[in-house]
Structure 1
Amino acid sequence: MERRLVKIGEAAATLGVAISTLRKWEETGELV
């Protein structure tokens, strides 16, 4: 399986959350 990197804005839009939410999830270990 090929892995594709996405920009944080693209990931946030796909998930329907703010970029700051993704950053917080990363800091708290909820996102790896």
Structure 2
Amino acid sequence: MITLVYLQVSSLRLLFRPCLFQLLAGFWSAEVRS
């Protein structure tokens, strides 16, 4: 049971990381432009 939840969380993190990275990159470029 616990391993199943852990696998789901890790897969969610793998999916979420690119989105978070894009968000940070967009914020950084906006800061640089201003």
User: What range describes the TM-score normalised by the shorter chain of this pair?
Assistant: 0.3 to 0.5
Length-normalised TM-score, structure 1: 0.36
More RCO (CA 8 Å, sep 6+): 1
Length-normalised TM-score, structure 2: 0.34
